[in-house]
């Protein structure tokens, strides 16, 4: 374990506009994922499991749901007084505006850096599904004597416009960085891909303090757009930590490969759920050596009264009635699936009642909904578009509470 004193800022204030309508009432880090998690749980678990225990979660956009989740899932144990996740809303400490961007959010909390005086600061996004031993990235940073290290990995060229794109040499030293370029540069030895930033950074504290100061003076607010390019131009040592090749999945026997998914849009979000299904899931939340922590929900296990359930995950206190046919689906907690319901490739969130005879295919049903008896969703995209949101990839999303409000009593 590194002897460095480290504090973490988790950037959890983004709007997640491409995840609409799942983000109409909550920020992206608070969107449910898998059978029982929220997206934010992955980065927080990675930090805690990596022994980084001083964590400030910077929230902004529609943050009530996120704050409530963090209170329930991440409250301090009295036994672990040195371990805490503190939610920091914008407080206008450094001026009269809310967080104007990721760098501005950290700048507005610069007092925390001064109070803790850590050796290193990790600034991580809260938008991804992954397992990462951050100590490996910190060691890489130290070995290279880097000023800043950016976690990165190859992504298909057609997706790269949505990322910060890096050019680096064999040692990882970065020579160019462009935030969301219109024409992403292919990797020399992998021309179908670009080398994309994961939005996770390790900074030497002094380098970060100076950079935030300079950016603030220049009216700049964002790490990707402003701070990183400015540091590069000023000759600082920026390195890329290639997560795909450097990260050793040292959490065997449960983990044999590295996993990272951007779930920024509905289709990516939906497809990432396929990775948690199957006999040998590409991403298995089960790993006692590297648990993904989440809410401490105390309800009973799911109850299956009959029907046929194939390749699916069932959340706590969920009831599946007789004569149902459920395949390749994720059903979260306190949900009731009535008789004669057919679910194929669906994500049914918490507190949903799917009434008898409904047939759903490639549908995401957000929390607190009642799907009326006999409803067909996902079988006729034009009909679905009249009532719901349909993604470019043809996934229908029923927004939270749209069809009725259900809470199991
Ligand atoms: P984006 O994800 O598009 O790109 P951004 O919208 O700034 O960048 O979000 C980064 C993180 O900061 C997210 O976790 C988001 O929730 C949070 N955030 C955004 N605005 C915030 C604010 N005002 N206050 C607090 N938190 C905020 C970034 C990088 C790219 C990189 C991708 C990887 O800029 O270079 O490739 O992440 O997904």
- Reading the block at residue 16, the tokens are 């997640």
The rounded Å distance from CA 336 to ligand 1 centre is 36
Q: Average model confidence (pLDDT) for the chain?
A: 92
Q: What is the pLDDT of residue 406?
A: 75
Percent of the chain with pLDDT over 90: 76
Which of 128, 166, 224 has most ligand 1 atoms within 8 Å of its beta carbon, as the pocket-test mutant? Answer: 224
The pLDDT value recorded for residue 86 is 84
Whole-angstrom Cα distance, residue 377 to residue 358?
8
Q: What's the confidence (pLDDT) of residue 94?
A: 67
DSSP string, 134-199: HHHHHHHHHHTT-SEEEEEEEEEGGGGGGSEEEEE-TT-BEEEEEES-SSPPPBTTBTTEEEEEEE
pLDDT digits (tens, 9 = 90+) for 97-133: 778 899 999 999 999 999 999 999 999 999 999 999 9
Does residue 313 contact residue 296 with C-beta atoms inside 8 Å? no
The pLDDT-based confidence of 1 (bands split at 50, 70, 90) is very low
The model's pTM: 0.95
- Run of H or E residues at 11: strand 6-12
The arithmetic mean of pLDDT across residues 29-58, rounded, is 95
Please give the pLDDT value at position 76. 60
Least confident interval from 90-94, 262-266, 346-350: 90-94
Residue 39, pLDDT above cutoff 70: yes
Q: Which of 39, 127, 161 to mutate to test the pocket of ligand 1 (most atoms within 8 A of CB)?
A: 127
Site residues for ligand 1, CB cut-off 6 Å: 11-14, 28-29, 58, 60, 99, 101-102, 105, 125-127, 163-164, 179, 196-199, 224, 262
pLDDT at residue 355, rounded to an integer: 97
Regarding predicted confidence, which is higher, 91 or 279? 279
Which domains, and CATH codes, for the chain?
A: 6-266 (3.90.550.10), 303-398 (2.160.10.10)
The pLDDT score that the predictor gives to residue 250 is 62
The tens digit of pLDDT for each residue in 301-310 reads: 999 999 999 9
CA separation for the pair 203, 310 (Å, rounded): 46
């Amino acid at each position: 374990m590194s002897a460095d004193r480290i504090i973490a800022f988790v950037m959890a204030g983004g709007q997640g506009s491409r995840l609409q309508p799942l983000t109409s009432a909550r920020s992206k880090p608070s969107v449910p994922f898998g059978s029982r998690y929220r997206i934010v749980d992955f980065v927080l678990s990675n930090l805690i499991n990596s022994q980084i225990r001083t964590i400030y979660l910077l929230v902004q956009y529609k943050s009530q749901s996120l704050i409530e989740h963090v209170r329930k899932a991440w409250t301090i144990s009295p036994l672990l007084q040195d371990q805490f996740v503190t939610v920091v809303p914008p407080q206008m400490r450094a001026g009269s505006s809310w967080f104007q961007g990721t760098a501005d959010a950290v700048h507005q909390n610069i007092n925390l850096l001064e109070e803790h005086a850590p050796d290193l600061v990790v600034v991580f996004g809260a938008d991804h599904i992954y397992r990462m031993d951050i100590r490996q990235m910190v060691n890489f940073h130290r070995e290279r004597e880097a000023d800043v290290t950016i976690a990165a990995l190859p992504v298909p060229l057609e997706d790269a416009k949505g990322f910060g794109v890096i050019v680096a040499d064999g040692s990882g030293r970065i020579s160019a960085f462009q935030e969301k370029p219109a024409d992403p540069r292919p990797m020399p030895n992998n021309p179908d891909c670009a080398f994309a930033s994961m939005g996770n950074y390790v900074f030497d504290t002094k380098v970060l303090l100076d950079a935030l100061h300079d950016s603030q003076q220049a009216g700049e607010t964002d790490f990707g757009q402003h701070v990183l390019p400015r540091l590069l131009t000023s000759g600082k040592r920026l390195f890329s930590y290639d997560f795909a090749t450097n990260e050793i999945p040292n959490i065997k026997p449960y983990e044999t490969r590295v996993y990272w998914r951007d779930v920024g849009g509905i289709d990516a979000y939906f497809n990432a759920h396929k990775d948690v299904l199957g006999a040998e899931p590409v991403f298995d939340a089960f790993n006692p050596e590297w648990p993904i922590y989440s809410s401490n929900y105390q309800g009973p296990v799911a109850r299956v009264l009959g029907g046929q359930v194939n390749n699916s995950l069932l959340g706590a206190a969920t009831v599946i009635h007789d004569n149902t046919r459920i395949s390749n689906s994720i059903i979260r907690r306190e949900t009731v699936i009535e008789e004669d319901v057919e679910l194929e490739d669906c994500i049914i969130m918490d507190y949903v009642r799917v009434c008898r005879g409904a047939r759903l295919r490639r549908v995401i049903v957000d929390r607190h909904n009642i799907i009326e008896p006999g409803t067909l969703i996902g079988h006729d995209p034009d009909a679905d578009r009249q009532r719901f949101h349909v993604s470019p990839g043809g996934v229908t999303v029923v927004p939270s509470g749209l069809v009725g409000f259900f809470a199991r009593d």
